[in-house]
Structure 1
Amino acid sequence: MTNKISFGLLILTALLFPLSAQNEKTFDTDVFKKETWNKEKTALKESKSKPQEIMEELHLNLIRNILKVDPLTETELKEIEIITKSCIENDLKKALNLSYFTTAKIYHALREPNVALQYLKLSQSSKIKIDVIDLPLLYAQLYSETGNYLKSNEILENLIRDTPIKERFNLNSLHINNLMALKHFKKAIGKLLELNEQKLDTNYRIDVLNKLAICYISTSRTEDGIEAYRNAIALTNGKNDVQKEQVKKSFSKALRSNKRDEENVSLIRESFQSLEKPKNALEYLRLAESYFSLNKINDAAKAINKYIDSPNYSIIDLSEIEVIRNTARKLENDQMARKFLNFYTILEDTIAIKRTTLQLKGHNKGMENLIQLETLRKEKEISQNAIQSLMKEDALKEDVLSASKWAIGFLLGLILIGCGAVLYILKVSKQRRIANQKLALRSLRSQMNPHFIFNALNSVNSFISENDQRSANKFLTNFSKLMRLVMENSEYDFIPLHKELEILELYLKLEHFRFKDQFEYSFTVHKDIDEENFNIPPMLVQPYIENAVWHGLRYKKDSGNLKLDLAKNDQNLIIMIEDNGIGRKRSAELKTHNQKKNKSTALRNIKQRINIINDLNGIHVDVSTYDLNQDGTGTVVKLIIPQQKLKTL
């Protein structure tokens, strides 16, 4: 068996590392395979480790070798996706956590911080923690890049305190960036002055002076800001043209943001009069912006003409070319105005193409991969639970056979032993039936979750197709939270009412976000309901709400209403789902054959779940559906759930 596992591991290695060889980077594949094989043989000879432990160690070695690659690219992303799926399939918890961490580092390198942060949190979500040195720093960087500057600085302050002074520059630099983003400029100035007193590399010194100049300008210390800017520019002369351009761009933006256009014009013209070559054409646009702000339209037009003579098409921000259109609108020369507007249109189309390219490489794919991996992990857990149930059944069968053999030996006590055997078999049969029902219940829940995920992903896809990235990001954030709640609660047959309400509120929030003008919704929970003590099967109410939205309210011409009312009647929980949509009859007329089939499957699954719940708990959960109005419009679904006998399984 060990030889088979070893052969399978070598196949995994062979699958992973040709991807690296194709890109002529990382490490020598043949050498790594040989070293891995030698280590495995040594482990087999010198220890009595289980095959699972050997497999986990091999996966860890594969992941550690990916972490050695610099820079991390999409090639490593493909490799780590294969390893992650293998970790899930083989239940390698420690390797899976390190794999999630590595995926976070790769997405960070690919400049997708939101996706990276989700993977990083996943790497720390289980009881088995990974010990990685740069874990806090990665958290700080990702919180900063996703706009949570306070959280980032909270982590950085602890890191700075525990790091030797000579190794603190990068930590201090990120800490100062966060302070500037929070507009805490005075505090940032104090820390920058401390850094400027230290012995620094030239590039670090330029970075400190540039940030100091921006902070001075932002606190109305214009002369100090210009002096720091000139010192930074002087250090870049003849050394680093890229860094010089970054200093000019950031300082010019700070001047314009603080309405210091006169100073900006003076500095740019001073730059043009120097001997440095070549001049960056984008500076003409910055000069034009300041002239336009000073209402010097003709001077702005001259600067724009110089930009048009030697344009720079690296712009990807529409705000940087707005001055061309704004100036054209104020020009009295119609011919020049048309020239400017035509050129603006060309730049606008170029920017649109570049943005589309960037969006194709955006983090939507990363979030999709994250959801797929988590779904795979959940399905693996369900499969393992099913296997354990089957093993228990086999054990019970063996016990029955053993009892039967002993019964034959006791001839004198045949009647008593026979009666005992019958009682035992009845007990086993009942246990088996309950176990089968529980397994069927879990199976039905696992069928419902993919159905729900598929509909939600359709909503995400519609935002992406409409090129509405902000709405897609917002939708995905809420969707990921909803998915986490659904997966956490899907392990239980019953959950407290407040958890189910939290899921329903999130789901309705997402659907309302998707169909903003189609309906409004409301929750009513009567005061006499104790949400902590009332239990309810998870995802039992959601499909009825989904039907109300998708098959009733969505087709309504004007805005509809959806009401969810929870009341208590004796020991029963009464849930009323009411909508004023087009009604069941009209909805059935509009449905395609496939839609009718899908709806029938979903409702049949819910009915089967309710039947199993009633059977296992000896209760009667009742569901009734009727029209809201006499003309057939609107629908009411009423669920009655007895509470006095409910118990968590």
Structure 2
Amino acid sequence: MIKYLDLVIKFNICIQLFLSFNCIAKEGYIEKVKQNPLLVDAQNKFNELDYRGSMIVFIHAIQESKIKNDQLSELIAYRGIGKILMDLKDYDKADVYFNKCLVLAKKIHNTNEIKHVQNDIALLYTLKKQYHRAHNIFSDLLRNAILEKDTVGISMMNLNLGLVNLNEKKYIQALQYYFTSLKYSKILNNQETLCLLYSHIAYSNCMINQAKLALCYLDTGNIIAQKSQNKSVLFNNLSLYAMIYDSLQMNDSAIKYYREVMKINDTLNNNQETALISQIIQESIEEEMKKEIELLQQEKEITNLRYQRLIIIFTATGVLLVLLTVFIFLYFRQIKLKKEKQTLVLEKQILRLQMNPHFISNSLVAIQSFVFAGEKNYACKYIADFSKLMRIILYKSRSEYITLKEEIEILEYYLTLQKLRFESSFSYEIVTELSADPEQIQIPPMLTQPFIENAIEHGLAMLKIQGNLIIRFKQQSNSILYEVLDNGIGREASKKIAGKTNKISQSISITESRLKLLNKGKKGKITIEIIDLYDNKGGASGTKVSFVIPVNTIFQKQN
């Protein structure tokens, strides 16, 4: 009888395990369960050991939760089905449902739900005699509960670790965990956990031949179970009473409790009931699979529609991008053509300004006078200089940049011919204050030519004394300073003589247009400044024209 009773007790340890799990479920989900009438009904039927009724209601709860997209209620219902299957010892199917719970818990990112499901899986490992895996999970959960100062968690994890040791027949270690759990449960005044703990402590004491002490603990737990109407614990206690009385050799009492246990056990192990529940589960699984297939087909159709829409969008976007690219290309091409046209017009204006008919005519007259005077050597020299100047102007005026050495060479030819025209009535000097070789520096060609011509013809030519013209190239920190200084009569006096439509204003206008084109699209800008010079008495003493060419507009020749 003792051996058979031991088998009954082992069966009822499963109920104890489930009840431990059930207590955690109530602690974790009591508020959510109260909000859902189906979950309340299913839980009540389960507590009354009506597994078939509980299973049907849990399945309805899952269907309703999916319609409402209430994933937490769906998770609780799956756990309920897992509990029923675990109680019916269908551990493989129970494992499937608990893993569904774990997937949902991670999906909703709820740490507490993940802990509860991990607890369920560890209890399942215990029932499957995978004690090492169960012990590891419970130990991790206990450490987290201690860190978070979670009294309920500490109580329940100690109870569960006691269960693992109990199943491994480590009764002394089991009692240590049970008494720790009992201390926290008394603080919490958790009646369900207390009556369960007393039953476990009673069983452990009985197994270490402390039957009388076991009977005392069992009586205490039974009183609490009767007050809380916990049918699962009361049923389990019947088995314990039968075992303890048998250990105390009180055979009549042992047989009495044994018969009551067998009567209830026969009801629980009814094959027809188990078959019905299995059928319900199978139908539920098939229905879920059918719905999942329909859902997948709908998702596939939606995906195809989205794919077609994306193709249309990408095609339209591609066409728009092509059109936009063509438009941008044509727009910038039009701007380029317009700029080229402006540049060509400006070049013609510059060329006309630089090849002033008066200058050409006067130069030729001067050369002619040398010929008539019989000074053929001078005439030949100046004809050669004039020819070189015209050739350089024709070729270099189209270049955007020339070397500083070439600029100085143009100025030398030009000023030599101007001195010839004005019979050496002025002197000139070209000064270079540069740290770099003039041949290695490039600048826009003949920027100052219009101003030099103005300085000679409208400033120096009007003087009664010797005129002086200084052209200076000076290196600054980040630029080159290009200056033209003369000691002529000044701009104001020149305007009075030449009238309103004088060439000075025309030169400035064309140079400003040229600078605008040169500066376009560049960070550093070439600037111009014209300053009237005065002597100590406030009288006009000449003009200074300054160009500042930034370093980033100076191009070094490649070796």
TM band (smaller chain): 0.3 to 0.5
TM-score using structure 2 length = 0.40
Which has the larger share of helix?
Answer: 2
Name the structure, 1 or 2, with higher relative contact order (CA <8 Å, separation 6+).
Answer: 2
Rg larger in structure: 2
Provide the TM-score with structure 1 as the length reference. 0.34
